């Protein structure tokens, strides 16, 4: 990929980032807080790592960000120069996407909590 150029490149990137962010938040929110996944969360509560992972927005958001970034759309591919090729770049992309995914999931979770608590 090439670096972002012009308004069209920036707007395309922004739309893709918003869609990616909503996908990360939606996946994270459904798994960590929905009633639909409650039996799965309680079933995995016997395994300490997985039980905590499935209840934590930040933790699960990190892994979801890595997943969506690797398999669907990589938010870091147009932001940084590709100084490295191969495994180091893939590792960097995964960690960056996980961090961004975790941040997005947490911020949107806090916003939805604010709206949900202000209505009651």
Q: What is the pLDDT of residue 31?
A: 95
- CA distance linking residue 106 with residue 96, whole number of Å: 15
Domain-located, residue 60: yes
DSSP string, 18-82: HHHHHHHHHHHHHHHH-STTHHHHHHGGGSHHHHHHTT-HHHHHHHHHHHHHHHT--TTTTTS--
Domain-located, residue 68: yes
- CA distance linking residue 112 with residue 88, whole number of Å: 36
- Name the domain count of the chain: 1
Domain-located, residue 1: no
Range of the domain at 18: 6-119
Lowest mean pLDDT among 57-61, 62-66, 88-92, 97-101: 88-92
Domain-located, residue 91: yes
Q: What is the pLDDT of residue 56?
A: 93
Region 104-111 average pLDDT: 95
What would the pLDDT profile of 67-94 be if each residue is shown by its tens digit?
A: 999 999 988 877 665 666 777 888 888 9
pLDDT at residue 3 greater than cutoff 60: no
Between 80 and 61, name the one with better pLDDT.
61
């Amino acid at each position: 990929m090439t670096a972002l150029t012009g308004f069209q490149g920036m707007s395309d990137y922004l739309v893709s980032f918003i869609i990616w962010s909503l996908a990360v938040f939606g996946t994270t929110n459904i798994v960590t807080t929905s009633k639909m996944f409650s039996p799965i969360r309680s079933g995995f509560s016997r395994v300490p790592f997985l039980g905590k992972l499935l209840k934590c927005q930040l933790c699960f958001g990190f892994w979801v960000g890595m997943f969506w970034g690797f398999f669907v759309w990589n938010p870091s591919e147009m932001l940084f120069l590709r100084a490295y090729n191969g495994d180091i770049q893939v590792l960097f992309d995964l960690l960056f996407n996980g961090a961004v995914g975790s941040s997005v999931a947490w911020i949107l979770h806090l916003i939805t909590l604010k709206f949900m608590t202000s209505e009651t």
